[in-house]
Amino acid sequence: MRELFDEAAGQAPRDPQAAIRQAARTPQRKRFYKEAAVAEAEGGFAITLDGKPIRTPSKRQVVIPSRALADAVAAEWAAQRETIDPVTMPLTRIANSVVEGVVDCVELVAQDLAKYFESDLLFYRAGHPEGLVAREAAHWDPVLFWAAETLGAHFILSEGVMHVKQPDEAVQAVRAALPGDAWPIAALHVVTTLTGSALLALALAYGARDADQVWAAAHVDEDWNADQWGVDEEAASRRAARLKDFQAAVTVLATVKPLAAKGP
């Protein structure tokens, strides 16, 4: 089984999304087990294939902190047919990347994630047309208001793509709101890299916005262009693939130890 993730062997990646992309490129293997199940393990729950726990390329046992999440991962293994396709196993890929590459460097992952707060998608606004300006405001302003009111983070907006330096106090305020555990920080990193916004990811984690709102907010400009010029089929296909990884990260956030609610 660990051959499925051999491309991720070596130095553990600090970017969980990079580990997911690596696993997705791994050649498919034939299914070699009859039953996937969940068993209690030290620190949580293990996924077993015919009674044997799955392990990472470095032979670490994959231990998942939530029974609900472990059941969902086991279901991915059970759903495989003659061959095992990692692309259809986004939760398994996240679990593998957490155990292999995040548990020993949570702070480094958090630092990488925090860089997005300095140039977040939500800071850079269109100047025209009015319909797009209004749509960005409708999707993005509630998140910025939440960050200001509940976290004390007041950011500066800019028209266009010219970089604007954000106040250190604002960046530090949202940085302090990041979780310190491997599973939620990894899931937040995945959401951030998929949406381009660490603020959207943080609002999702704290329940200030739901998954549908976050996904829509991440694609405001893309959807506006589609409304004007029609859907790009290749772009739509890539978006559908990203959505599966996004939904997996949302599942992780919903099933591991939740963050305390912040917001009205």
Instruction: Give backbone dihedrals phi and psi of 111, rounded to 5 degrees, phi first.
Output: -65, -40
State the pLDDT confidence band at 262, using cuts at 50, 70 and 90.
low
For residue 7, name the pLDDT band (cuts at 50, 70, 90).
Answer: very low
Contact (Cβ atoms closer than 8 angstroms) between residue 167 and residue 154: yes
116 plus 233 within the same structural domain: yes
- Does residue 175 share a domain with residue 68? no
What's the confidence (pLDDT) of residue 126? 94
> Hey, what amino acid is at 145?
F
Residues 91 and 159 in one domain: no
pLDDT single digits (tens) 168-181? 999 999 999 999 99
**Mean local confidence (pLDDT), 206-229:** 95
* 243/161 same-domain check: yes
Q: Give the global pTM.
A: 0.86
**Interval 2-9 mean pLDDT:** 36
CATH code where residue 189 lies: 1.10.3580.10
Which pLDDT value is given to residue 235? 87
Q: Is the sign of the CA dihedral 168, 174, 180, 182 positive or negative?
A: negative
Q: Is residue 260 part of a domain?
A: no
How many structural domains comprise the chain? 2
- For residue 216, what are the domain limits? 107-255
Is 50 exceeded by the pLDDT of residue 1? no
- The residue-averaged pLDDT of 49-70 equals 94
pLDDT digits (tens, 9 = 90+) for 108-149: 999 999 999 999 999 999 999 999 999 999 999 999 999 999
More confident residue, 257 or 39: 39
Kindly report the number of other CB atoms within 10 A of residue 182's CB atom. Answer: 21
Q: Is residue 118 part of a domain?
A: yes
Residues with Cβ within 8 Å of 252's Cβ and at least 6 positions away in sequence, in order, are 69, 91, 94, 183, 184, 186, 187
CA–CA gap between residue 194 and residue 190 (Å, rounded) = 6
Of 38, 69, 104, which residue constitutes the final position of a domain?
104
Q: Domain end: 64, 85, 104, which one?
A: 104
pLDDT in tens, 97-106: 999 989 999 9
pLDDT band at residue 25 using 50, 70 and 90 as cut-offs = low
